[in-house]
């Protein structure tokens, strides 16, 4: 209450008489935090009550000497102002609503700019503010996505994280996020993998980007591409041919991942039973076992031509695995009688 009364007394005069920099000094010296500033706007719906705390928060973000903790509170304040403006100002008339939308755009640009702050903690606060705003920030997602090509790797990483947390509101930029799997920085690449977890159905149409990078010259790019594809495997059916081709890769973990994807696809993998059967002789035991399981899920007419390969690989397994293969061969024999 003390903070709110203080804000009410000062907002009318300070906004007219002081520059924004001087205003920030007044706020800090008075002991008000930016949470106080954000809360103070709730006591009135006048223009000054809206503009005053927002302007102060923007100055805090743009001023180099401001502590990162203050910048974090300034971001939270802007988030509250945007959220409140979207829900409460729309019933105040056309002019009021128009101004509220204009202010929201200014605030969003300030939040997006904070993704470029030198302090990682400020970037994290900006990402979290963007996540909380969700649909309120959706019309300005392009302002955030424009930083995917930023020269600083931490800015690119924070941008990918922010878009991932926006989920469906970032859908128009899903391909741009997917292409960041080839970013020079490994932390940016991993942020893409995490984005696949959060916006699966929007990243799914671009799974081919990751499948194509299974053969990238960079080991880490190949690995994160595999991880991203695994996050989207339930959407892989349209790309079954590309997946089957990866069974011939020199890297065992690429072959293993391709086999796992084909196993998950079930009958959709049937036209590539021959490619699956070639892995019954793979150098890695687990990949051979995955091949057996994949064939076991297919219609018998696709498996029958590979019965000899199944008999040959059965000798490389023990116990339960042998039983599964034996039962599959029995089913094949019965089907041909």
The percent of residues in the chain predicted with pLDDT above 90, rounded, is 43
Q: Which CATH class is domain 237-337?
A: mainly alpha
- Judged by DSSP in three states, 277 sits in helix
Calpha distance 6→111 (Å, rounded): 26
Of 31, 20, 22, 25, the C-alpha closest to 59 is 20
- pTM of structure: 0.71
pLDDT of residue 63: 64
* Residue that wins the pLDDT comparison between 21 and 58: 58
The model's pLDDT over 106-165, given as tens digits with 9 standing for 90+, comes to: 778 888 888 888 888 888 888 988 888 888 788 889 989 999 999 999 999 999 999 999
Model confidence at 43: pLDDT above 60? no
* Residue that wins the pLDDT comparison between 176 and 62: 176
Matching residue, tokens 């590979």:
306
> In this structure, what token pair is assigned to residue 212?
């194509």
Q: How crowded is residue 165: how many other Cβ atoms within 10 Å of its Cβ?
A: 19
* Mean pLDDT value of segment 261-277: 93
The model's pLDDT over 86-117, given as tens digits with 9 standing for 90+, comes to: 544 444 444 445 555 666 777 788 888 888 88
Lowest mean pLDDT among 7-16, 125-134, 191-200: 7-16
What average pLDDT does the chain have? 79
Terminal-to-terminal C-alpha distance of the chain:
87
Enumerate the domain spans of the chain.
1-136, 237-337
Model confidence at 205: pLDDT above 60? yes
């Amino acid at each position: 209450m003390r903070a709110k009364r203080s804000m009410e007394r000062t907002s009318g005069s300070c906004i007219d008489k002081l520059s924004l920099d001087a205003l920030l000094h007044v706020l800090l010296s008075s002991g008000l935090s930016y949470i106080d500033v954000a809360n103070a706007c709730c006591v009135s719906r006048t223009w000054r009550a809206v503009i005053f705390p927002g302007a102060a928060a923007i100055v805090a973000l743009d001023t180099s000497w401001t502590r990162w903790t203050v910048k974090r509170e300034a971001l939270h304040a802007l988030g509250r102002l945007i959220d409140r403006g979207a829900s409460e100002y729309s019933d105040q008339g056309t002019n009021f609503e128009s101004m509220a939308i204009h202010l929201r755009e200014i605030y969003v640009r300030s939040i997006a700019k904070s993704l470029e702050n030198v302090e990682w903690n400020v970037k994290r606060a900006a990402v979290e503010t963007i996540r909380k705003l969700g649909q309120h920030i959706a019309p300005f997602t392009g302002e955030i996505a424009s930083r995917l090509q930023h020269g600083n790797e931490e800015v690119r990483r924070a941008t990918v994280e922010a878009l991932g947390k926006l989920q469906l509101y970032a859908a128009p930029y899903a391909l741009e996020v997917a292409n960041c799997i080839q970013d020079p920085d490994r932390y940016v690449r991993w942020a893409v993998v995490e984005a696949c977890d959060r916006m699966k159905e929007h990243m799914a149409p671009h799974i081919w980007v990751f499948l194509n990078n299974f053969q990238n010259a960079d080991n880490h790019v190949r690995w994160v591409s595999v991880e991203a594809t695994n996050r989207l495997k339930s959407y892989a059916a349209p790309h079954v041919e590309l997946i089957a081709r990866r069974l011939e890769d020199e890297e065992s973990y690429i072959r293993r991942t391709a086999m796992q994807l084909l196993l998950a696809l079930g009958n959709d993998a049937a036209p590539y039973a021959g490619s699956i059967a070639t892995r019954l002789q793979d150098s890695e035991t687990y990949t051979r076992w995955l091949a057996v399981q994949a064939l076991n899920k297919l219609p018998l007419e696709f498996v029958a031509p590979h019965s000899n390969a199944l008999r040959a690989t059965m000798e490389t397994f023990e116990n339960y695995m042998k039983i599964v293969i034996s039962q599959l061969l029995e089913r094949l024999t019965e089907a041909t009688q």
